[in-house]
Structure 1
């Protein structure tokens, strides 16, 4: 009887250890994405579709949030562990005494376009003509709002003379433009292609390629990223490394596969009813993604310069750019 009891005890101990290992191996992580269907944030859903999170022993829940500023607030409140959003929030928040950092840098350009209503295309030739206009952004305090404000002030138009309205992206942005609620606005693919195809809008400022980004912003503007609270990263380094492994592997996949192959991995509703336009836009936009997830050295100073031009909380403040991103985790990602 003693022998049987011992066997049961040992078996229970083994099962307990196994279940604990299984539990520990499948860590639950919640990431908020500032617009899941946007092509600039493709790595988030693609990593899930390719099974790369599970491969790392992670159970990742992706939550959708239309505006980056709202995702940022959820992160600061501790409701999510990370955000797939724009790097510029790390600088804006540091100026307010809060520390978050880009752990994996997805892109070195915004991937955004300032569209103008076709009805006003003859009158609005550049951001210098923004005076008195109402422009759509995803959310007030979002990166689209930051960039719109910079384009205005860098062309001699005070922020006070431009009205920004939060209209989200996709159908809500399109409806606002068609109904005349906005004169134009900043948005991403696939919204851009949808409005160009119907002839309702024209491109005013293109921030998709490195060349055009340098023209309008004066340098590379690292944008889409995985950013997290610095305090969380420091206390969860093993988990952060697993996320970095999954995302860098995804970025390598993007670099080595065609737009058609990438689109085939995505849910059909991401095409917004037009797969051909989605693929075409993705083929052109792939140049934005960074294959190794490393922050381009020249990027952070450009973002700081842009924000300092209009953001009173950043202007003149001592910002430690080294604390706004880390390359520690992407540097440790295995080669294969």
Structure 2
């Protein structure tokens, strides 16, 4: 339903970077249409994007919003920098990584106070891979190289003293492609989200190794809350389109309030039928995911520091660099009346 933008947009990014144009707001925004790239639109971590559309909140704000889907957050990020889209629904950590590369991008709505990610171990490898301390020589699945899942995977392994050179990260995407990678034995373990987690558990193909769907599980794995799924834009776009940014934020905040005042069954009833090929499984996965959502779209006070700590531990783009966290997010639009 939502086509992936063609690969020439990546070429557009290279051209934009060469001429210093990538830091400018996308010209396409001037026609009133807002294109939002979602890093995997069927993932429950990004449910607010589709749900907001389903509830009619974009239209209530007078917005013309187009939702597009890209399997990996790093690819969605590239579309934003290329000017192909005006906003991305992806992980907040990209805003920190990009600042160290001279790109000013900020989160204007936070959907998840935790990653909602789960490291799953293949049933075939479960006997020898009982923790992230056992990943030496293993192949670990991530959505894409340089994606948030690769950041988190490296951090979790490093916590056990294992270097990124001691295992292989394989980009396998999400949803059906992730499940296929597990079934075909191409990965020993991998990081994914709901409803893929519940589907693998139901089929017996994999088991949970590290669970970051709740605040408790995330604090145990990362040492604090970890704001993840969010709506982020180029800062220049936000500065030049404050009215649109405010309306977008207001629409999403209404959705976060809807999520916190309705049951998993009621929320699922608003989602497209093709998202719920197994309705019972979808509702169960959604119920397991509800604790991760913010109620108001605001950035958790301790969140940015935790994310920076994770990135600075291994990411060469961030390690040793000064990062002004105040420029990586704003609550201005979610609190605007």
TM-score normalised per structure 1: 0.90
Match of 2:323 among 302, 319, 332: 319
Match of 1:139 among 144, 150, 175: 144
Match of 2:314 among 310, 321, 326: 310
After superposition, residues 74-113 of structure 1 pair within 5 angstroms as: 74-113=79-118
| RMSD over aligned Cα atoms | 1.3
Task: Describe the SS at the equivalent of 1:186.
Answer: strand
Match of 1:11 in 2: none
Match of 1:53 in 2: 58
Q: Distance in 2 between matches of 1:40 and 1:284?
A: 11
Bigger Rg, which one:
1
Q: Distance in 2 between matches of 1:95 and 1:159?
A: 21
Partner deviation per Cα, 1:86-122 (whole Å, 9 max, x = no partner): 0000001111111100000011000010000111112
Partner deviation per Cα, 1:274-320 (whole Å, 9 max, x = no partner): 11111011112111000100000100000000001110110010000
Tell me how far 1:44 sits from its aligned partner.
Answer: 0.2
Tell me how far 1:232 sits from its aligned partner.
Answer: 0.6
Report the count of equivalent residues: 309
After superposition, residues 198-237 of structure 1 pair within 5 angstroms as: 198-237=203-242
Higher helix share: 1
Match of 1:183 among 184, 188, 207: 188
Tell me how far 1:27 sits from its aligned partner.
Answer: 2.8
Match of 2:302 in 1: 298
Q: Distance in 2 between matches of 1:275 and 1:43?
A: 18
Partner deviation per Cα, 1:42-64 (whole Å, 9 max, x = no partner): 00000000000010000100001
Q: Distance in 2 between matches of 1:238 and 1:55?
A: 14
Gaps of 5+ in 2: 1-28
Whether the aligned pair in 2 keeps the contact of 1:27 and 1:57 (CA below 8 Å) is: no
Task: Describe the SS at the equivalent of 2:314.
Answer: coil
Match of 1:245 in 2: 250
Q: Which runs of 4+ in 1 moved over 6 A?
A: none
Q: Distance in 1 between matches of 2:102 and 2:185?
A: 39
- Alignment of 1:282 onto 2:286: yes
- Alignment of 1:328 onto 2:332: yes
Match of 2:71 in 1: 66
Match of 2:259 in 1: 254
